[in-house]
Amino acid sequence: METGKIIKEITHSLPENCKLLVVSKTRSIETIMEAYLAGQRLFGENKVQELVQKHESLPPDIQWHMIGHLQTNKVKYIAPFIHTIQSVDSLKLLKVINNEAVKNNRIINFMFQLYIATEETKFGLSCNEIEEILQSSEFLALKNVLPTGLMGMASFTDNTMQVAKEFSSLGECFNYLRLKYFKDVLSFRELSMGMSSDYKIALEHGSTMIRLGSTIFGERI
Ligand SMILES: *Cc1c(COP(=O)(O)O)cnc(C)c1O
């Protein structure tokens, strides 16, 4: 099936409060343009250099999301244009993002990346660690970063019960933080979870943003 058709089908099948982020890492400009021409505007990348190049070659109304691990020394390259950094995993990184946002005279949206204990990646924060950041005076002093929610990944496994359990705990942390720290803050509303292999389970557990690559474009080579 062609890319545009798949995007339209998935978009139409999503609940009203859920958005599709198309993960375009490793895909060519031509391939991404097909998705753009089908109306897609939210794209995710996981490498800074690739993100910068694609931003320069593609239409300016694309909302670029950084979904991969971000080193502090590379924030400056994406700060002028990035829409949302979904992979914030430390207060140190957040401070650098804030500094670069100030330099560019803009507000940068971000999500905390929530760590799942059984996951292989070492990146991400526990729900407790996120709370510690939210309570710190250092965090409260950052005026050019805006928390928009949480991003998480389930373990890479065929065990759908385990995946469901992990998405459910992501959802619990999200609801807990939202009620405790963001009751009147409408911007904190995204629960970014679900990839090609598990997005249907993520939707059952309250995902507001699914991140799909191979479902849209086919297997990465
Ligand atoms: C690559 C990637 C995705 C998309 O993966 P697919 O299996 O191709 O859908 C989603 N989220 C993150 C963080 C990724 O790195």
In the predicted model, what is the mean pLDDT of residues 3-23?
96
User: Using a 6 Å CB cutoff, which residues line ligand 1?
Assistant: 23, 25, 46, 67-68, 153, 195-197, 211-215
Q: Between 98 and 186, name the one with better pLDDT.
A: 98
Question: Cα(21) to centroid of ligand 1, in Å?
Answer: 10
- Give, in order, the Cα–Cα distances in Å from 171 to each of 103, 116, 127, 205: 34, 12, 11, 7
Tell me: pLDDT of 122 over 90: no
Give the residue among 90, 86, 81 at the shortest CA–CA distance from 138: 90
119: confidence class by pLDDT, cuts 50, 70, 90:
low
Residue 65: beta bridge partners? 44, 84
Question: For residue 142, what are the contacts with CB-CB under 8 A and spacing of at least 6?
Answer: 94, 95, 98
Statement: the pTM of the whole predicted model exceeds 0.85: yes
How far does the centroid of ligand 1 lie from the alpha carbon of residue 212, in Å? 6
For residues 66 and 108, the answer to whether their CB atoms sit within 8 Å is no
Residue nearest atom 5 in ligand 1 by C-alpha distance: 213
Please state, in angstroms and rounded to a whole number, the distance separating the CA atoms of residues 7 and 40: 8
Query: Ligand 1 atom closest to Cα of 67?
Result: 13
| Ligand 1 atom nearest to 151, measured from its CA | 13
DSSP 3-state of 112? strand
